[in-house]
Structure 1
């Protein structure tokens, strides 16, 4: 019996180890950054469907929402949630514009936590996110992804964000998944799919 348990445990450990991320070497990380930075300079627009999963300690069930993300160079970004509710948030001109099921408002985007995520996503479309002075970056890889983990440098930002992780599939230069861990331990996972690059985006996508 003990041998069987030990064997199963060994399989689990082996499987776990197989999927673990490993740190890139200095040469690998430089090549990765150079490749992403060069290829994303050609991106003028980007649009993708997304599924967002929010895990909070005080809730038994995860909060799952769906929608569409639209990006226009150099720094205009729109998140439009369509399920299970209608909610839009647009970043442009250093402001956040919000439409919460018909109730519209705007606020200054500076120093807002979510604005930092959007800054990295916008940066991921032009290669500038690796030089963001507000974060230190560590690079990892596994069988399917190259991964950039961003850790805030300032104590002020660390009060809200512990880490933001951007996942790049080995065969593409745009982000397919974002994982954010807040200081509280709550996590947000965003998975992008049906991504279109440099396709025309209607102006309505960036308005409320």
Structure 2
């Protein structure tokens, strides 16, 4: 009986281990980075739908919003929320253009903080972040994805972000999910759907 119990416990532990994330080996990291960097170099534009989940510890259910995102190299970016409200943020020419249900405003993005935020967002979308000196990066593999975990080095970013997790489906070089973890433990998870790489995007898509 004891033997059977021991076998069951061993199997359960083994299943638990394999269900969790595992650190990638040096050779796996090298192959993964090469795949992603090759893909990133070829991305001239990207359109995708997204669903965003905001997790707050004091709420029993995550806050869900959705919309569309458009990116055009080198640094044009438009996040457009469509449900449950209309809200868009455009990064263009060192400025951030905000349209909050018709109420428009502009923020100068030349500050170091906005530069870092813009770089973080663009890098997250394209997956081109592995040479960034602002983060320590560790690499993991799960059942159906590779995960790059970025930990900020600077106090400025640490104030707002504890960790950024980028999820890449196995054998793909573009990001499928981004998880932004705050110092409090609350986090935002963004899931990309219906991605179109190098589809034609007019500059008018970045007018707010």
Q: Which range, TM-score by smaller chain?
A: 0.7 to 0.9
Aligned to 2:107, what secondary structure does the other structure show? strand
Deviation at 1:48, TM superposition (A): 0.5
Per the alignment, residue 3 of structure 1 pairs with none
Gaps of 5+ in 2: 1-5
Change (3 A) 1:11 1:120: same
Aligned to 2:88, what secondary structure does the other structure show? strand
Per the alignment, residue 163 of structure 2 pairs with 163
Per the alignment, residue 70 of structure 2 pairs with 70
Give the Cα separation in 1 of the matches to 2:8 and 2:156.
45
Deviation at 1:39, TM superposition (A): 2.4
Give the Cα separation in 1 of the matches to 2:95 and 2:12.
48
Gaps of 5+ in 1: 1-5
Structure 2 counterparts to residues 78-93 of structure 1, below 5 A: 78-93=78-93
Structure 2 counterparts to residues 31-70 of structure 1, below 5 A: 31-70=31-70
Per the alignment, residue 178 of structure 1 pairs with 178
Per the alignment, residue 196 of structure 1 pairs with 196
Does the 8 Å contact 1:71/1:78 carry over to 2? Answer: yes
Structure 2 counterparts to residues 115-134 of structure 1, below 5 A: 115=118, 117-124=120-127, 127=128, 129-134=129-134
Deviation at 1:13, TM superposition (A): 4.9
Deviation at 1:10, TM superposition (A): 7.3
Deviation at 1:14, TM superposition (A): 4.7
**Number of equivalenced pairs:** 201
Give the Cα separation in 2 of the matches to 1:161 and 1:9.
38
Give the Cα separation in 1 of the matches to 2:192 and 2:41.
20
| RMSD after superposition | 2.3
Give the Cα separation in 1 of the matches to 2:67 and 2:153.
31
Find out whether 1:22 has 2:25 as its counterpart. Answer: no
Aligned to 2:162, what secondary structure does the other structure show? strand
Give the Cα separation in 2 of the matches to 1:10 and 1:53.
36
